[in-house]
Chain A
Amino acid sequence: MAVTLFDSHRRFLQTIMCNGIMEGSKAKAVHRHCCEVYHTPYTDDSLDEFIDLINSYLQPLFMQIRKGMSEDDGLQYYTLVNMAETDITRMSSDYADNELELFRKTMDLIVDSENGTASSTDVLNCADSLQTKKMKKKETEQVLSRLVQDKWLNEKHGEYTLSTRCIMEMEQYIRNIYQDLVKSCAICHNIAFQSQMCCNPSCGIKIHIPCAARYYKGRVDPRCPACSKFWPHEIPAIRTSSQVSTLSPPVASAISTSQSRRMR
């Protein structure tokens, strides 16, 4: 660690911590802003270097700033990840034991599902059979709401998915606990939940929805990259960061519900 950190690095780190998770273009803007405020030399494409330096100081503290793709919009996000524990420590200080159990059960449902979702009905059923302490419907709904607010889960039309932050923070934990039950995306090789699956029963590879959008863009005859069987799923549209903010909710939900309808 020969090179020292400047206040610009510290301020960037504080900002990521404050926001929990930050989208790529916002991270670039924050990077530029921090360098300007604290008079540090700055070039347009030096964000990775900037973060690498911060990470060299975070490593002895078992933390890292990681970059990952969102399963929802395909964009890159940055978040601070805990490397030491494989357990859900950050959550443990905010949630009671039975609430954590509910979260784990929700995760079970998501891992088990074909398209990386858990319906609120199924989660409510779990609440009834918790081993730590049973939870009534109202309480369950409140816990789920908090989990969404704290950015561990996303919710859309009564379906719950793991948030980008959750996946990035807990990938190691998830792989340890679920092992072969979780699959990686055949395109980007990261863990995959909201995904399309090859219909060939002896193949069964998964591709993230945004990865499928990019891979199959413009292809007239989409095929599975592993077994070459016809890829029957609807090819999603690619979203850019400018589009995401203007994409109206009904269109977005139409894409996701059409996916789930086809799966059945």
Chain B
Amino acid sequence: TCQRKYNFLMEEDEDVSFTQPSSSQLQRGLDRLTPAQVDRKVAEVVQFILIKDQKKVPIKRADIVKNVIKEYKNIYPEIIKRANMKFEKVFGFQLVEVDPKNHAYILVNKLEQNPRQPAVMSPGHPKTGLLFVILSVIFMKGGVVKEPVVWNTLKKLRVDQGEKHEEFGDVKKLVTEEFVRQRYLEYTRIPHTEPLEHEFRWGVRAEKEVDKMKMLEFVSQVHDQEPQTWTKQYKEAMAAKGGSSRS
């Protein structure tokens, strides 16, 4: 733990020394380099982020600067901007800052999804189905649910948090750790509860990747109703649609 504290401090130090360049500093920095040099750096950042993103853990700005950007620090904002353009144009991803304080990013999938299949996960992997069920329960119940609600829902599908599941293994670990680490879910303590209780919300990756309208349409089909039956959720889905429309 001592070592971890030290590493954390080191990284924070590195980031504290990183100050945002002014626009004139940025321009001067760009002028000093050839377009080929800048393009090369952008390519390296894209590759670095793609490799790191495979772990599905947010990528720290400090890591990007230390390992890739290096002496090009003064044009960092421009490099990140161009990297993001590449992500969107070539891969259909978006670089999203999830931790404004510590400056960490995730790559979010911007392609229009089949609601049953968030494409970031292995296509057709049963985990995506499980995640989808959990997300839809949370959504339909207004955006936050107490932990038991999730386990009860899964129990109906014969997925038990207590038992080792044939397909998912340790279900509790998958839902409360893996999905949370990947930012699909948020799992937070409810203060002043004895014994300690938790609640689930959508994580930032789910917010960015999952089309709420498509999810509502799917749920409506299951219940043989119109999406508008759920006025609150319908309004929320419409609002989400307006905010993230792609050209």
The answer to whether A18 touches B123, judged by C-beta atoms less than 8 angstroms apart, is: yes
Q: Closest Cβ of chain A: how far from B43's Cβ, in Å?
A: 5
Q: Give A89 to B39 CA distance when docked, in angstroms.
A: 19
B91 lies within 8 A of chain A by Cβ: yes
Q: Closest Cβ of chain A: how far from B126's Cβ, in Å?
A: 15
A5 lies within 8 A of chain B by Cβ: yes
Tell me which of B46, B92, B109 contacts A61 (CB under 8 A): B46
The answer to whether B43 touches A93, judged by C-beta atoms less than 8 angstroms apart, is: no
Name the B residues within 8 Å of A93 (CB-CB). 51-52
Which of A8-16, A106-114, A228-236, A253-261 forms contacts with chain B?
Answer: A8-16
Interface string of A8-35 (1 = CB under 8 A from B): 0011011101110000000000000000
A63 lies within 8 A of chain B by Cβ: yes
The answer to whether B47 touches A57, judged by C-beta atoms less than 8 angstroms apart, is: no
The answer to whether B43 touches A60, judged by C-beta atoms less than 8 angstroms apart, is: yes
B111 lies within 8 A of chain A by Cβ: yes
Interface string of A101-141 (1 = CB under 8 A from B): 00000000000000000000000000000000000000000
A226 lies within 8 A of chain B by Cβ: no
Tell me which of B43, B51, B91, B123 contacts A10 (CB under 8 A): B91
Given known A60-B39, A61-B90, contact A14–B109 (CB-CB < 8 A): yes
Given known A7-B111, A18-B122, contact A61–B51 (CB-CB < 8 A): no
Interface string of A84-107 (1 = CB under 8 A from B): 100001100100000000000000
Name the A residues within 8 Å of B154 (CB-CB). none
The 10 lowest CB-CB distance pairs between A and B, nearest first, are A10-B92, A61-B43, A57-B90, A62-B43, A7-B111, A93-B51, A61-B46, A11-B111, A18-B122, A14-B119
Which residues of A are interface residues toward B (Cβ below 8 A)?
Answer: 5, 7, 10-11, 13-15, 17-19, 37-38, 54, 57-58, 60-63, 82, 84, 89-90, 93
